[in-house]
Amino acid sequence: MTTPDVPSSAGEPLAQRQVALIDLLDRLLSGGVVLTGDVVLSIADIDLVRISLRALIVSISAQNPSPWAETMPPGGDHGG
């Protein structure tokens, strides 16, 4: 990531700090990320299709085990 071109004020101690993308993703996934969005397909101002998207993304750890760990067959094969 890049540092901002505008000078930082005294109230922004981390404004000049560079953060690697992998570090940012690690911090986001350790706490969890909620993604939401809406997609609307319309023609001539008539809505034809509306899709609402919602996702919770979190890393799997000892504190956050996989919800599918108990239901998966031995070997982790999903049958596909």
Question: 12-69: per-residue pLDDT in tens?
Answer: 666 677 778 888 888 877 777 888 999 999 999 999 999 999 988 877 777 767 777 6
pLDDT at 24: 81
pLDDT at 51: 93
pLDDT at 52: 94
Residue recorded with tokens 């540092």 = 3
Chain-centroid distance of CA 12 in Å reads: 25
Distance CA 31, CA 19 (A): 17
Q: Are 18 and 1 in contact (CB under 8 A)?
A: yes
Q: Which residues partner with 33 through β-bridges?
A: 57
Q: Are 49 and 40 in contact (CB under 8 A)?
A: yes
Q: Of all helices (H) and strands (E), which one includes residue 78? A: none
pLDDT for residue 6 is more than 60: no
Residue recorded with tokens 């993703």 = 25
pLDDT at 72: 62
Domain segments of the chain as ranges: 14-60
